[in-house]
Amino acid sequence: MLKLLNADDYVPRTIHDIVYHSDRSREAIEEIVEGYVPFPTAGKNGIILWGVWGTGKTQLANLIPEAIEQRLTGQKPWVNFITVKANGTGLAVVNEIENTTKLNFAAFGSYHYFILDEVDLLGKEGMESLKAVMNKPRTIFIMTTNNLSKIERGVLNRSVSVEFNKAPSTAWLPTVRRVLKDAGVEVTDESAVLEYIDKCDGSARDILMSTFRFIRKMNVQKNPELA
């Protein structure tokens, strides 16, 4: 009988579950989250996750605040998640952030975290205002973008930039092996698995979907009545 899997079981729960572009990217995040390097410090209170679509930037952005606060206070972080829209309201978004920083959030942890998804869509005025609001005390900004070149230089200078492009296909093998094992599918030759992973161009969504399809294919080959 074909075993049904739940895709939510394979969503990253911690920063260690993320498949990173490189060891350098992984180490940059771990150094910040685990306190090996001071952060925020020396005027840097931003993290920019940049790279192509689908590589897990937003997932990681959501995991970072809790990881930092668990180390510092053991409390849940106060997080504002903002999906920036390409509609010319970048300045309004930043004004909202500035107003929020005026609230008393001491009971919610050490810092106030702002996640700006697709931050490059803020536009010129929004970027200029963001540069200024990043100077607010006890704030951390976690930003994602597919277009690093559109980020204002002052925002870049206030941030740690972490590349999040396509990870090597082999880096995905532990995750894929776990899914295959849960489905009861044994693969002796992983060349076919690496081939379909590579075709997904680093998209976590596509890799997971392709794995489910691969499981279906293997089960049909074993049990033609499932076709």
Model confidence pLDDT, tens digit, residues 5-48: 888 899 999 999 999 999 999 999 999 999 999 999 888 999 99
Judgement on whether residues 49 and 132 belong to the same structural domain of the protein: yes
Q: What pLDDT does residue 34 have?
A: 95
Q: Return d(Cα 132, Cα 125) in angstroms, integer.
A: 11
> Is residue 71 within 8 Å of 34, Cβ to Cβ?
yes
Residues 120, 52: one domain? yes
Query: In what helix (H) or strand (E) does residue 61 lie, and over which residues does it extend?
Result: helix 57-72
pLDDT at residue 218, as a whole number: 80
Query: Nearest to residue 89, comparing CAs of 117, 126, 144, 119?
Result: 126
pTM over 0.85: yes
Same domain, 190 and 87: no
Supply the pLDDT for residue 184: 87
110 and 189 housed in the same domain: no
What average pLDDT does range 214-219 have in this prediction? 83
Q: pLDDT value at position 1?
A: 46
DSSP code of residue 136: S
Place 3 in a pLDDT band, splitting at 50, 70 and 90: low
Average pLDDT of span 131-144:
94
Query: Would 105 be classed as within a structural domain?
Result: yes
Q: Strands 159-163 and 46-50: what pairing? A: parallel
Domain co-membership, 47 together with 123: yes
Is the Cβ–Cβ distance between 150 and 120 less than 8 Å? yes
The CATH number for 77's domain is 3.40.50.300
The predicted model gives 130-137 an average pLDDT of 92
pLDDT at 48: 98
pLDDT one-digit tens code per residue, 66-103: 999 999 999 889 899 999 988 777 888 998 898 888 77
Q: Phi and psi (nearest 5°) for 21?
A: -60, -35
In the listed set 132, 163, 194, which residue is the last one of a domain according to the structure? 163
Expressed as residue numbers, the domain containing 30 is: 20-163
Q: What is the mean pLDDT of residues 131-154?
A: 94
Confidence tier at 225 by pLDDT (50, 70, 90): low
| Half-sphere exposure of residue 61: CA atoms within 13 angstroms, side-chain side | 31
CA distance 90 to 119: 9
E strands, 25-175, in order? 46-50, 78-83, 112-117, 139-145, 159-163
On whether both 85 and 119 belong to a single domain, the answer is yes
Whether residue 111 is predicted with pLDDT greater than 80 in this model: the reply is: yes
CA dihedral 147→148→152→154, nearest 10 degrees, is: 160
* Number of independent structural domains in the chain: 2
- Give me 112's structure tokens: 């106030």
When pLDDT is cut at 50, 70 and 90, the band that residue 108 belongs to is low
Residue at 83: amino acid letter: T
What is the mean pLDDT of the segment spanning 184-206?
90
**SS3 label, residue 116:** strand
Question: What average pLDDT does range 179-196 have in this prediction?
Answer: 89
Q: What pLDDT is attached to residue 186? A: 86
Q: Are residues 193 and 142 in the same domain?
A: no
